[in-house]
Structure 1
């Protein structure tokens, strides 16, 4: 295969790595392809907010001799995964000029695998939104429809991967922030179990254990191999997910056998599932049954109203800490010239909570794991919508609103099917199985018991083989 014949923009990470190993292209050429793709689509999509061209050259010069993904370019979200010497804004105007002083453990593992970080992706301020429309950088746009939300908070990552800038990008997920943008852009997005991937050394946990770190990908096998490369226990971690004897990549190649899968299509939180999303879920369930699985109706066993309040309290408490820390570090006031108004409101509410309020919220969130254990006593997996709605018009989740309560209420409603997995610490994935009448992507969520990522990846790969999505491309692509 020649470089001319090799299509970087449609290749997954393992294909790029194989092309490099076969001499079809060099690591430098692969990185050049990524920067060329940024040049082509980023002026429209605004997905990448920091290009790391000099740092990429430094990484290329220091590449390990071997590595499963040696020379493959990728992107980091501009928040948790600090890259020493690179700017980190958290999507916040107050943090302009902030520079990271050490590598996140995830970044260290990326380097060891031979990956090359070529830039940082757009995100809402402090990742506190399920849309990506920050005041600092402006909105990241959805390559499938420029008028629709790309999702959040890993929205820039989703736009870049969907458009072919890089084969995968880092994302994190505190209430659906990998799964929602994956659903909105036709990608595969897995949220691992709590404790599966590292969150240090800067922090011991994020949002009280709600947040997990992984990637958004175009193929299931890329997600699997990245979990293999990043899931080793981190020294000092508060949580450790169960050890998996077989590699996750091997699990993705193994047929899962007939499963009993519970179907959830409603919540006791007062929000209706849009007709096109419901129809997509029904079609997906029918497809699942053609694979030999049994789909049966089930319900979430937790109190969705109480859980939404608990998650709100936890987010507010941690937002208060983040706002205070950034304001202190950057010597700036807490006002709407430096922070989004909804985050100022959330921070004020977070400060009003007492220690017992926060502990009670953590207890309510953690109890969700027991509720799911009851559900999984009768089924192997649960499937549901990712969100109850199609990708929403830009501006739906407005961080510049003075009404933070309405804002966070809308976020909790739109993440009603995703944030329970964060509270319970269980793995969940968005699989790009469906599309709307006018071609917008619709992801279907699957949830598994704690530690059962291997089962999710096996099912996802089975779906991918039978109902492939790789041929679908958005209107804006590299």
Structure 2
């Protein structure tokens, strides 16, 4: 490999690591490429809200010599993955000035893998939105169409990877927060099984076990390798996913033979599927059949209305806890000068719930796992749209209104295809197979039984080989 063969902006993380190993560029030069790309593109997208140049220099000075991703730049979302000594605002005005005291287990594993954290990405306040338009930092714009939502809550990470600032960025997913931004920006996004990746040492779980931690990538192999590098069981963890039979990266070359795929085209909650999204799902199903798989119509086995009500209660309860904790720690009032009005209203509702209401809600959400277990006795995977609509206009998911019922209704309707996997704890992915008539990305979701990320990654790699998406680039890119 020579510099003539290498292009940082279009390379995936594995490609950058290979270029460094071949002597095409040094780890320091790779990190400078990232900062240069951020400088060129971020003013147009507002994806990166903090550059960590000093921290990056310290990491470069202590890189493990034989790390698999030595010198590859990565971005963190400005919430769960705390980085000791660096500001973390949770997308919240009240938390400006907060500095993390400890490294998240994910950050520790990134460092061991040789990754260099170069900054933090924008996010909605406390990750409580499927759009990324916080009052604190302003909206992150979609590099495919700046008038459409980038998705959320990992929207800043998605915009940064899609536009070529970095090849890989951290995301977390509590109702679709990796898969929805991936679908909106033409990326690959995998939500692992509950307990696959760590959430400590500060937290034992996030959103009552709904949230999982992973990354947004342009290639399937990056996602697989990142899962290999971060998925070892965390001591003292509340959950532990089944130990994989081999590496996730090796699963990309495996062959499973024909599978039976259940297709869900209507998830309910009164949210009609956009005709273009429906047509994209039909085209994706045709591609599956061309690869030898059988596609059969099915319906979700759980009660969608009951699950939405349970998630509403859980999200409100955890929002109340986060508002109260931030207000206490930062010694500020819980008012609309410091928090989004919709989150204050959600928090009020959460505080009004009895403990029995919350426990019943959690039990109902957990029961979704048994519904999917019954489904997976008949099919090997489930496919569906990621979202019922194309990327929505900016401002659709309005956090500046105190009408929390309207907001949470939009939130749960917009995530109607994705949030069941969070409730069940099963792995799910968004694959960028299709585009709309106007050129917007349209993701296709696939879900697998608990612990079967390898099955998803194997299929994704096959789809990537037969229907590659790497040549598609957004309007705004490095």
Q: TM-score, normalised by structure 1?
A: 0.99
Residue 214 of structure 1: how far off its partner (Å): 0.2
- Distance, in Å, in 1 between the alignment partners of 2:255 and 2:169 is 27
2:328 equivalent in structure 1: 328
1:69 equivalent in structure 2: 69
Aligned-partner SS, 1:312: helix
Residue 342 of structure 1: how far off its partner (Å): 0.5
The answer as to 2:463 corresponding to 1:463 is yes
> Is the 8 Å Cα contact of residues 45 and 159 (structure 2) preserved in structure 1?
yes
Residue 370 of structure 1: how far off its partner (Å): 0.4
- Distance, in Å, in 1 between the alignment partners of 2:208 and 2:120 is 25
Residue 2 of structure 1: how far off its partner (Å): 3.0
Q: Deviations over 1:261-284 (max 9, x none)?
A: 000000232110000000000000
Aligned-partner SS, 2:249: helix
2:225 equivalent in structure 1: 225
Aligned-partner SS, 2:470: coil
1:249 equivalent in structure 2: 249
2:29 equivalent in structure 1: 29
Residue 4 of structure 1: how far off its partner (Å): 4.6
- Distance, in Å, in 2 between the alignment partners of 1:435 and 1:89 is 34
Residue 312 of structure 1: how far off its partner (Å): 0.9
1:41-190 equivalent positions in 2, closer than 5 A = 41-190=41-190
1:420-431 equivalent positions in 2, closer than 5 A = 420-431=420-431
The answer as to 2:385 corresponding to 1:385 is yes
- Distance, in Å, in 1 between the alignment partners of 2:164 and 2:271 is 34
Q: Deviations over 1:302-356 (max 9, x none)?
A: 0000101101111110000000000000000011000000000010000001111
1:188-203 equivalent positions in 2, closer than 5 A = 188-203=188-203
1:302 equivalent in structure 2: 302
Aligned-partner SS, 1:148: coil
- Distance, in Å, in 2 between the alignment partners of 1:235 and 1:436 is 45
> Is the 8 Å Cα contact of residues 344 and 402 (structure 2) preserved in structure 1?
no
> Is the 8 Å Cα contact of residues 20 and 71 (structure 1) preserved in structure 2?
yes
- Distance, in Å, in 2 between the alignment partners of 1:364 and 1:103 is 33
- Distance, in Å, in 2 between the alignment partners of 1:16 and 1:201 is 30
Aligned-partner SS, 2:120: strand
> Is the 8 Å Cα contact of residues 268 and 303 (structure 1) preserved in structure 2?
no
1:433 equivalent in structure 2: 433
Residue 3 of structure 1: how far off its partner (Å): 2.7
Could you list the runs of 5+ residues in structure 1 that have no partner in the other structure? none
> Is the 8 Å Cα contact of residues 78 and 121 (structure 2) preserved in structure 1?
yes
- Distance, in Å, in 1 between the alignment partners of 2:199 and 2:403 is 32
2:216 equivalent in structure 1: 216
- Distance, in Å, in 2 between the alignment partners of 1:153 and 1:16 is 27
> Is the 8 Å Cα contact of residues 268 and 416 (structure 2) preserved in structure 1?
no
1:364-383 equivalent positions in 2, closer than 5 A = 364-383=364-383
- Distance, in Å, in 2 between the alignment partners of 1:256 and 1:436 is 31
Aligned-partner SS, 1:430: strand
2:207 equivalent in structure 1: 207
Residue 6 of structure 1: how far off its partner (Å): 1.4
Could you list the runs of 5+ residues in structure 2 that have no partner in the other structure? none
- Distance, in Å, in 1 between the alignment partners of 2:18 and 2:257 is 30
- Distance, in Å, in 1 between the alignment partners of 2:89 and 2:360 is 32
Q: Deviations over 1:101-145 (max 9, x none)?
A: 110000000000000000000000000000000000000000000
- Distance, in Å, in 1 between the alignment partners of 2:232 and 2:461 is 23
Q: Deviations over 1:46-66 (max 9, x none)?
A: 000000011100100011111
Aligned-partner SS, 1:248: coil
Aligned-partner SS, 2:146: strand
> Is the 8 Å Cα contact of residues 432 and 442 (structure 1) preserved in structure 2?
yes
- Distance, in Å, in 2 between the alignment partners of 1:91 and 1:241 is 30
Residue 402 of structure 1: how far off its partner (Å): 1.7
Residue 358 of structure 1: how far off its partner (Å): 0.6
- Distance, in Å, in 2 between the alignment partners of 1:430 and 1:122 is 21
RMSD, matched Cα: 0.6
> Is the 8 Å Cα contact of residues 188 and 429 (structure 2) preserved in structure 1?
yes
> Is the 8 Å Cα contact of residues 132 and 139 (structure 2) preserved in structure 1?
yes
Alignment coverage as a number of residue pairs: 478
- Distance, in Å, in 2 between the alignment partners of 1:287 and 1:229 is 31
Q: After TM superposition, what 4+ stretches of structure 1 lie above 6 angstroms from structure 2?
A: none
> Is the 8 Å Cα contact of residues 130 and 152 (structure 2) preserved in structure 1?
yes
Residue 253 of structure 1: how far off its partner (Å): 1.8
Q: TM-score, normalised by structure 2?
A: 0.99
1:345 equivalent in structure 2: 345
- Distance, in Å, in 2 between the alignment partners of 1:268 and 1:276 is 18
The answer as to 2:406 corresponding to 1:406 is yes
Residue 252 of structure 1: how far off its partner (Å): 1.4
Moved more, 459-468 or 248-257: 248-257
1:267-306 equivalent positions in 2, closer than 5 A = 267-306=267-306
Aligned-partner SS, 1:434: strand
